[in-house]
Amino acid sequence: MSQFPKSAALMARGAAFFGSEHAILCGAMSWVSERNLVSAISNAGGFGVIACGAMTPALLDAEITATRALTAKPFGVNLITMHPDLFELIAVCASHGVSHVVLAGGIPPKGSVEAIKAGDNGGAEAKVICFAPTLALAKKLLRSGADALVIEGMEAGGHIGPVSTSVLAQEILPSIAEDALVFVAGGIGRGEAIAGYLEMGAAGVQLGTRFACATESIAHPAFKKAFFRASARDATASVQVDPRLPVIPVRALKNKGTEAFSAKQIEVARLLDDGSVEMLEAQLQIERYWAGALRRAAIDGDVENGSLMAGQSVGMVTKEEPVTEIIAALLGECEAALGRRAAA
Ligand SMILES: Cc1cc2nc3c(=O)[nH]c(=O)nc-3n(C[C@H](O)[C@H](O)[C@H](O)COP(=O)(O)O)c2cc1C
């Protein structure tokens, strides 16, 4: 019997879907969610997800192989819908028999959900998980073939939507969570919050910030130190400086890099103005900028000029801990909260 029976009961659907012990996903984090962290999460009973980010198909191929060498447990791959080689990346996942593909960064392009589910290129069929920003889109994504959904609030680290996790959960869970698998993300730092979302009908949860500084994470020590020092209010959302250039806000710890992003937006807006780039290329330039800035901070350790993407739960990240201990702490808190409510 599970050490956390009440949590296990509420997580049963989500855990069965992922083939994991607990329905706790570590959301993909570009550069950080690579073989070491992903395998550690899956080995600890959670569900790890490789962040493909801007990787080429060959790099993704190598990363999946390397992750497989470190865990016999299932793990997923997160693909960004805007990636120019999206369909090749889907084929790489299929050729490895990756069981779950998460499509992030926008509405899935035509044919992508079908390609993943069909196991294109003679590979294995996989389950598709999509991000749902509204109830209407959640229903549409399910009709289009998504097997599960993630709803992510603006408390989260990285690219964010405009609505908080608590409001998204109230709007979406009561309507669809009985029939559909919905995982809640954004701002979760402790197990009491997990208990709340499970009671509302979530099949499980996804966390990023809480896992970014795990012992097994390859994030640079300076990046981790910045997390340990930060409080919730330091994790701010980027602002759009030019109304003609819609950029998805990014939540990160405030530093010089935050200001540099405003300058980058002005530079790209000028390129749009003088017609030297189209909107799609302008948006791709912004995304490439973020990928480079995050690498600079997370891998190179330049915490002044790079991007310290972090969610508001960063204040609850105070020290480096092995993934097993983080998961045990979250489940312990969740179980205690469920127990208190049952006893009341
Ligand atoms: C450093 C960092 C990088 C991230 N990179 C990605 C990414 O490449 N793709 C993606 O879908 N989400 C990305 N995210 C979001 C996480 O997958 C996850 O959904 C989010 O962190 C959950 O909210 P939390 O930070 O409040 O726990 C990133 C988050 C962080 C903190």
What is the per-residue pLDDT across 192-230, written as a single tens digit (0 to 9) for each?
Answer: 999 999 999 999 999 999 999 999 999 999 999 999 999
Give the span between the Cα atoms of 173 and 161, in whole angstroms.
17
Give the span between the Cα atoms of 1 and 269, in whole angstroms.
58
Whole-prediction pTM value?
A: 0.96
pLDDT reported for residue 120: 64
CA of 264 to the centre of ligand 1 (A): 22
Are residues 183 and 23 in contact, defined by beta-carbon separation less than 8 angstroms?
A: yes
Nearest-atom number in ligand 1 for the CA of 155 is 26
Are residues 250 and 290 in contact, defined by beta-carbon separation less than 8 angstroms?
A: yes
Nearest-atom number in ligand 1 for the CA of 105 is 11
Tell me what the pLDDT averaged over the chain comes to. Answer: 95
Domains defined for the chain, CATH in brackets: 5-218+317-343 (3.20.20.70), 221-312 (no CATH)
What is the per-residue pLDDT across 123-152, written as a single tens digit (0 to 9) for each?
Answer: 778 999 999 999 999 999 999 999 999 999
Are residues 81 and 110 in contact, defined by beta-carbon separation less than 8 angstroms?
A: no
Residue with structure tokens 């493909």?
52
pLDDT reported for residue 122: 62
Instruction: List, in sequence order, the alpha helices (H) in 177-220.
Output: 191-199, 209-212
Protein residue with its CA nearest to atom 8 in ligand 1? 30
Instruction: Find all residues with CB under 8 Å of 211, minimum gap 6, and list them.
Output: 26, 29, 37, 41, 217, 323, 326
pLDDT exceeds cutoff 90 at 232: yes
Nearest-atom number in ligand 1 for the CA of 207 is 27
Give the span between the Cα atoms of 79 and 94, in whole angstroms.
13
Within 10 Å of residue 207's Cβ, how many Cβ atoms?
A: 28
